[in-house]
Amino acid sequence: MKPLTLTNNAQSDSDKRNQEKLVAAGELPRHIAIIMDGNGRWAQTKGNIRIHGHKAGVDSVRDITESCAQLGVEHLTLYAFSTENWNRPSAEVNGLMKLLVASLRDEAENLHENNIRFSTIGQIERLPVNCQKKIQEVTDLTKDNDRLQLCLALSYSGRWDITEAVKKLAVEVRNGNINPEDIDDSLISSHLSTADIPDPDLIIRTSGEFRISNFLLWQLAYSELYITKTYWPDFKRDELYEAIKSFQKRDRRYGEVKKGYTKAISSTVINQIIS
Ligand code: FPP
């Protein structure tokens, strides 16, 4: 497989070694989701206006995408523009849309040559027409690629996603295709915008906020959370490796007890304890 060149930097030997160690150390997350936060504050700390932070954030998108593909992560979902972000000043919204079109224009061939599949979730029809066209173009160009799936959440919110799923299910009930009793976890999952991809194993939030901010509300039920104070434009691959190392140390129990916990306790003992 040809070396990945999204960043146009040859991969250093020390980075290759770091990646090899990480792969050997334990299971990698199949799906990493990221709330990219802190662009505005990053710019302000440098005495610049917020759009500088968003522009610098694109370099982090490139570096994190490249390193995920090199590592063998299968899915990377980035929260690039939330439903609530429409309420920002129109100059910032327009700037973000222009940045999106310019980034997709600059990166399309590069993504394709590196076998990366591009996709989006969210209310894409709310984006300006030129954005929609660019998104469609890059989605079509890369649709058969299978190295890493890079998904941008644009005009997205978790509540919107769930609401849409509920509407589709209601129509299916009304049309007699399913009964209300048929509705379970997996049927709901299969009606979300992420139906074709596994739930995130690891969710990273930059800039130190302890919130999910209406991101993949249903899909994050059992994701491992990693929060860093680093602002998104400073979040690069070395910190991604720290997040993955932290993930590899977690004991994922999915609400059950730790594997190997076999101590049998009789119900008489339990009744004595709680009475
Ligand atoms: C959050 O920082 C970031 C965003 C709302 C936009 C994210 C966009 C990018 C990284 C660049 C464009 C992306 C692509 C994929 C082309 P913030 O503005 O909320 O920062 P703050 O919390 O410091 O105000």
Q: Do 31 and 194 form a contact (C-beta atoms < 8 A)?
A: no
Q: Number of folded domains in the chain?
A: 1
Q: Which residues contact 245 (CB under 8 A, 6 or more apart)?
A: 22, 25
Asked if residue 261 belongs to a domain, the reply is yes
Asked if residue 53 belongs to a domain, the reply is yes
Q: Is the pLDDT of residue 39 over 60?
A: yes
Q: Residue 4: pLDDT band by 50, 70, 90 thresholds? A: low
Asked if residue 17 belongs to a domain, the reply is no
Q: Is the CB of 95 under 6 A from ligand 1?
A: no
pLDDT for residue 5: 56
b/e map 50-59, b = 16+ CB within 10 Å? bbbbbbbbbe
Provide the domain limits for residue 172. Answer: 29-274
Q: Do 31 and 197 form a contact (C-beta atoms < 8 A)?
A: yes
User: pLDDT per residue over 90-149, tens digit each?
Assistant: 999 999 999 999 999 999 999 999 999 999 999 999 999 999 999 999 999 999 999 999
Asked if residue 23 belongs to a domain, the reply is no
Summary mean pLDDT of the chain: 95
Asked if residue 75 belongs to a domain, the reply is yes
Instruction: Give the residue numbers annotated as catalytic, written as ranges.
Output: 37, 85
Amino acid identity, residue 183? I
> How far is the C-alpha of 255 from the C-alpha of 146, rounded, in Å?
33
CATH code, domain with 73: 3.40.1180.10
Torsion of CA 173, 176, 180, 181, to 10 degrees: -150
Q: Residue 236: pLDDT band by 50, 70, 90 thresholds? A: very high
Atom from ligand 1 closest to the CA of residue 103: 16
Tokens of 135: 């998104």
> How far is the C-alpha of 67 from the C-alpha of 211, rounded, in Å?
25
Atom from ligand 1 closest to the CA of residue 92: 18
User: pLDDT per residue over 165-175, tens digit each?
Assistant: 999 999 999 99
Atom from ligand 1 closest to the CA of residue 58: 11
CA of 39 relative to ligand 1 center, distance in Å = 5
Q: Is the pLDDT of residue 44 over 80?
A: yes
pLDDT for residue 2: 45
Atom 16 (ligand 1): residue with closest C-alpha?
100
CA of 35 relative to ligand 1 center, distance in Å = 9
> Cα 108 vs. chain centroid, distance in angstroms?
19
Atom 1 (ligand 1): residue with closest C-alpha?
37
Average pLDDT over residues 196-204: 97
Average pLDDT over residues 232-249: 98
> Nearest-CA neighbor of 62 among 78, 47, 50?
78
Asked if residue 103 belongs to a domain, the reply is yes
Q: Is the CB of 100 under 6 A from ligand 1?
A: yes
Asked if residue 20 belongs to a domain, the reply is no
Q: Is the CB of 29 under 6 A from ligand 1?
A: no
pLDDT for residue 262: 67
Alpha-carbon separation of residue 120 from 147, 155, 201, 245, 274 (angstroms): 17, 10, 19, 28, 51
Q: Which residues contact 30 (CB under 8 A, 6 or more apart)?
A: 73, 74, 75, 198, 201
Q: Residue 177: pLDDT band by 50, 70, 90 thresholds? A: very high
> Nearest-CA neighbor of 170 among 153, 188, 158, 157?
188
> Nearest-CA neighbor of 136 among 118, 148, 115?
118
Asked if residue 227 belongs to a domain, the reply is yes
